[in-house]
Structure 1
Amino acid sequence: MTSTLAIVVSLALLMYLAYRGVTVLLLAPLMGALAVVLSGDAALLLPIYTGTFMTALSGYVLQFLPIFLLGSLFGQLMADSGAANTLSRWIVASVGEKHAIVTVVLACALLTYGGVSLFVVAFAIYPVAVDLFRAARIPKRLIPATIALGAFTFTMTALPGTPAIQNAIPIPYFGTNVFAAPGLGIIAAAIMFGGGSWWLRRRAAAAHAAGEGYGDHDDAGEGAPAQAEQDARWSVMPVPLALLPLLLVVGINALFTYVVFPAVDFSFLAQRFPDLAPQKIVGLWALIIALATACTALVLLRLKHWSNLKNTINQGVFGFMLPLFNTASEVGYGAIIAGLAGFAIIRDAVLNVAPGNPLISEAVAMNVLAGITGSSSGGLSIALQTLGQDYLRMAHEAGISAELMHRVAVMAAGGMDTLPHCGAIITLLAICKLTHRQSYGDIAAVTILFPLPALVLVIALGTMFGGF
């Protein structure tokens, strides 16, 4: 009982201090150490740190470093090449300023589904959103929720093939790929997009009826010099060239997932890599190849138009480190917690939420841990690190496909992750120069209110008809 209480105290402090802005790189080992000490295992503190925390952290880095690195590099290349700007302006021109909310959502969705980091998307789309919302007299306070709907929801967790790290994390645990349960994912994405867009349009209409316009904000000239410079340098980039790298990410990923790797006999690897299970890792290999190809294509397509290619590459490569080690530290923390005696009580309680249907138990575990950590990737990683094998076993016993388990896990991690202490939400509000008081209610509506019913529907359909 003491050990269980120690875990609860540790988790509560982790959530509170993360909300206060303390870095997870420091919090994770400290809160793990606190849980160990309160559990009465202080004598084992250093062995647990080196043997458990660091082993789990390094194992996560070993598995996912190339995905984080290539994803960060690709996002930086898309931003600095002008491809992100070109595509966002193209969508504005295609959809029209009258549909400002849907235009911003689609611009964010296209970029994030193509592999651009959600932070890069937020920075790239924000100036466009300011222009559109001001012209349409839509309150600025709705911009963060609009960006969040396009970048933090259906393109991150539901659409099949999305290269988001959240969609890659379950692969080595379940032996799946990023296209897992595509039909259910599309249904869920439609609910999130439709429900979130309806909410935002309704809020805008209510504001208009009340006589509220864009609002008095000191951003009239925000980003103008940089934008003018970008338009001058990138205006010649054709839309097809800007779109090509995104298509390469999805297309090459699908090609290797469904055509190339299934035709390869990997038995020749057994002698040199006896512990390697190709069926559990080829999904990551396909994503690595797709991102590497897209990065190479971007460099070559704009070979004579880079203002400073070396600086772009360096920024992209350096940019992956903090997100990777933040998540890896949370995984290390989860490994410490999983090794404590009190965790057995928590584990059994979670696994027995719905003994006959592991999908429900999995959804609860992912939501709770993502909410506590304020991170979908962190919560997902901790849950799978500690319970992944149990869920896979339970799925086999219940006749549930690993693909369905994959999709439910990813969608559940994208439910309660956007609580107020979420780092992505704090960053988004900082980019938009708004506060939680002004904008968080609408952010919560589009990132929690509609994703959760979509998750419930996927579980219900998957239980009745299996993964499809």
Structure 2
Amino acid sequence: MTSTLAIVVSLLLLMYLAYRGVTVLLLAPLMAALAVLLSGEIGLYLPIYTDTFMKALGGYVIQFLPIFLLGALFGQLMADSGAAHTISNAIVERLGHKQAIVTVVLACGVLTYGGVSLFVVAFAIYPIARDLFRTADIPKRLVPATIALGSFTFTMTAMPGSPAIQNAIPIPYYGTNVFAAPGLGIIASVIMLLGGLWWLHSRAAKARVSGEGYGQHAEGEAMASSDVDKGAMSRMPLALALLPLVLVIGVNAIFTYLVFPGIDMSSLTARFPNVSPAKMAGLWALIIALTVACVTLVVSRLGHWSNLRASINKGVYGFMLPLFNTASEVGYGAVIAGLAGFAIIRDAVLNVTPGNPLISEAIAMNVLAGITGSSSGGLSIALQTLGADYLRMAEAAGISPDLMHRVAVMAAGGFDTLPHCGAIITLLSICNLSHRQSYLNIAAVTMGVPMVALIAVITLGTMFGSF
């Protein structure tokens, strides 16, 4: 009981201090040490730190470094080449100011589904959203929720083939790929998109009736501006801007379904006995797709870059903090999983719904994502500690690993956007708004509606299996 209480205390402090803005890089080892201290094992912390915390952190970095690096580089190249601006402007021109909310959501959705970092998308789309909302006389306080709906929900967790890191994390644990349960993923995406749009349009209509309007705001242009090359923005053709996004999804699908299944990889197993090609093929396909997209983007824009080296360096440097934040949370989770009290928590979670691991998995992912304020962090901790158990339970219950993959990713994208979530804090800073002004609507479209979609997927998956 003491050890269980120690875990709860350290988790609550981790959540509170992260909300207060303390970096997870420092919090994770400190809160792990606190849990060990309160469990009465403080004399063992240094060996636990070097053998458990650092091994788990290092293992995560080794496994997912290419995805974080290539994803950050691709997002920066899309922004600095002008491709992101070209795509968002094309959507604005076709839908117009009268459909401001739909325009912003679709612009964010297209970019994030194509592999552009949600932070890059937020910086790139905010100036457009601000002008659209002002022209349409829609309250500015709805801008963060609109960007969040397009960036943090269906394209991150539900759309099959999404290159988001969240969609890649379950691959080595379940032997799946980013297209897992495509039919259910599409259904969930439609629910999130339509449900979120309904909520935002209803709030806008209510504001219109009350005569609220856009509101009086001191716009922080310095925060809102991005590093996009203005000359490239005006010159880039739409087809060329869309090509890298198409390549990320298309090349990924080709290698996932055509190339790797047709290759005899028995020689790989003989030479690398610790590598499972079946489990790693999904990650390999994503690495190849992002590499092809980055190279294509650079080559297609040769002669149009203001400073290609600076763009590449900024993209590469930008991957490190998100990667090590998440890896530190994984290290923290590994320490917690080694404490005696975790067995009680694990058994309670695993047995919450005997016979249906989908519900148990959904609860675990939501809780850990909420505590850490990170979908990728919560998902990584849960799978690191419980992934083997869930796979075993799924096989015993006749549940497809693809369905487990999709439920895990969607659940991790539920309570991850509690107020202490770093992405939410960054988004509000970009928009120069406060939690009090905008958080309720953010929570509605990033937690409320996705929970409905998650319940629908679990229900349909239980009744009809993965499709």
What TM-score range do you get, normalising by the shorter chain? over 0.9
- The 8 Å contact of residues 81 and 229 in structure 2, kept in 1 or not, is answered as no
| 1:210 corresponds to | 210
1:359/1:235 Cα in 2 relative to 1: closer, same or farther (>3 Å)? same
| 1:467 corresponds to | 466
Q: Give 1:400 deviation, angstroms.
A: 0.1
- The 8 Å contact of residues 81 and 232 in structure 2, kept in 1 or not, is answered as no
| 2:126 corresponds to | 126
- The 8 Å contact of residues 253 and 290 in structure 1, kept in 2 or not, is answered as yes
- Counterpart Cα distance in 2 of 1:18 and 1:226: 26
| 1:322 corresponds to | 321
Q: Deviations over 1:263-299 (max 9, x none)?
A: 0010011222011110000000000000000000000
1:223/1:240 Cα in 2 relative to 1: closer, same or farther (>3 Å)? farther
Q: Give 1:224 deviation, angstroms.
A: 12
- The 5 Å alignment of 1:404-419 reads 404-419=403-418
Percent identity, aligned pairs only?
76
| 1:169 corresponds to | 169
Partner SS for 1:281: helix
- Counterpart Cα distance in 2 of 1:76 and 1:113: 15
**Amino acid in the other structure paired with 1:464:** M
- The 8 Å contact of residues 127 and 223 in structure 1, kept in 2 or not, is answered as no
- The 8 Å contact of residues 3 and 38 in structure 2, kept in 1 or not, is answered as yes
1:172/1:224 Cα in 2 relative to 1: closer, same or farther (>3 Å)? closer
- Counterpart Cα distance in 2 of 1:7 and 1:228: 43
- Counterpart Cα distance in 2 of 1:225 and 1:439: 17
1:273/1:233 Cα in 2 relative to 1: closer, same or farther (>3 Å)? closer
- The 5 Å alignment of 1:195-274 reads 195-219=195-219, 222=221, 230-274=229-273
Q: Give 1:225 deviation, angstroms.
A: 11
| 2:65 corresponds to | 65
1:248/1:433 Cα in 2 relative to 1: closer, same or farther (>3 Å)? same
- Counterpart Cα distance in 2 of 1:180 and 1:360: 18
- The 5 Å alignment of 1:415-426 reads 415-426=414-425
- The 5 Å alignment of 1:63-462 reads 63-219=63-219, 222=221, 230-462=229-461
- Counterpart Cα distance in 1 of 2:450 and 2:235: 39
- Counterpart Cα distance in 2 of 1:108 and 1:224: 18
- The 8 Å contact of residues 167 and 409 in structure 2, kept in 1 or not, is answered as yes
**Amino acid in the other structure paired with 1:445:** A
1:302/1:20 Cα in 2 relative to 1: closer, same or farther (>3 Å)? same
- Counterpart Cα distance in 1 of 2:273 and 2:334: 25
What TM-score, normalized by structure 1, do the two folds share?
0.98
**Amino acid in the other structure paired with 1:19:** Y
- Counterpart Cα distance in 1 of 2:231 and 2:386: 52
Q: Give 1:333 deviation, angstroms.
A: 0.2
- The 8 Å contact of residues 77 and 315 in structure 2, kept in 1 or not, is answered as yes
**Amino acid in the other structure paired with 1:58:** G
- The 8 Å contact of residues 140 and 215 in structure 2, kept in 1 or not, is answered as yes
**Amino acid in the other structure paired with 1:338:** A
Q: Deviations over 1:305-364 (max 9, x none)?
A: 000000000000000000000000000000000000000000000000111100000000
- The 8 Å contact of residues 224 and 430 in structure 2, kept in 1 or not, is answered as no
- Counterpart Cα distance in 2 of 1:177 and 1:117: 20
Partner SS for 1:450: helix
- Counterpart Cα distance in 2 of 1:240 and 1:402: 37
**Amino acid in the other structure paired with 1:160:** P
- Counterpart Cα distance in 1 of 2:406 and 2:426: 27
- The 8 Å contact of residues 229 and 305 in structure 2, kept in 1 or not, is answered as no
**Amino acid in the other structure paired with 1:307:** S
Q: Give 1:231 deviation, angstroms.
A: 4.4
- Which is further off, 324-333 or 263-272? 263-272
**Amino acid in the other structure paired with 2:464:** F
Q: Deviations over 1:114-165 (max 9, x none)?
A: 0000000000000000110000000000000000000000000000000000
1:228/1:359 Cα in 2 relative to 1: closer, same or farther (>3 Å)? closer
- Counterpart Cα distance in 2 of 1:135 and 1:232: 25
**Amino acid in the other structure paired with 2:259:** V
- Counterpart Cα distance in 2 of 1:42 and 1:88: 53
- Counterpart Cα distance in 2 of 1:109 and 1:223: 24
Q: Give 1:226 deviation, angstroms.
A: 6.3
Q: Deviations over 1:31-90 (max 9, x none)?
A: 001001110111111000000000000000000000000000000000000000000000
- The 8 Å contact of residues 28 and 330 in structure 1, kept in 2 or not, is answered as yes
- Counterpart Cα distance in 2 of 1:372 and 1:281: 29
Q: Deviations over 1:340-393 (max 9, x none)?
A: 000000000000011110000000000000000000000000000000000000
- The 8 Å contact of residues 53 and 335 in structure 2, kept in 1 or not, is answered as yes
- Counterpart Cα distance in 2 of 1:435 and 1:228: 24
- Counterpart Cα distance in 2 of 1:239 and 1:224: 27
**Amino acid in the other structure paired with 1:21:** G
1:228/1:466 Cα in 2 relative to 1: closer, same or farther (>3 Å)? closer
- Counterpart Cα distance in 1 of 2:76 and 2:411: 28
1:315/1:397 Cα in 2 relative to 1: closer, same or farther (>3 Å)? same
**Amino acid in the other structure paired with 1:69:** L
| 1:15 corresponds to | 15
- Counterpart Cα distance in 2 of 1:7 and 1:467: 35
Structure 1: 5+ residue runs without aligned partners? none
Q: Deviations over 1:233-265 (max 9, x none)?
A: 421210000000000000000000000000001
Q: How many residues align?
A: 467
Q: Give 1:95 deviation, angstroms.
A: 1.2
**Amino acid in the other structure paired with 2:67:** I
The two structures, once aligned, show a CA RMSD in angstroms of: 1.3
- Counterpart Cα distance in 1 of 2:228 and 2:253: 37
- Counterpart Cα distance in 2 of 1:291 and 1:419: 30
What TM-score, normalized by structure 2, do the two folds share?
0.98
**Amino acid in the other structure paired with 1:248:** L
**Amino acid in the other structure paired with 1:149:** L
- Counterpart Cα distance in 2 of 1:225 and 1:148: 16
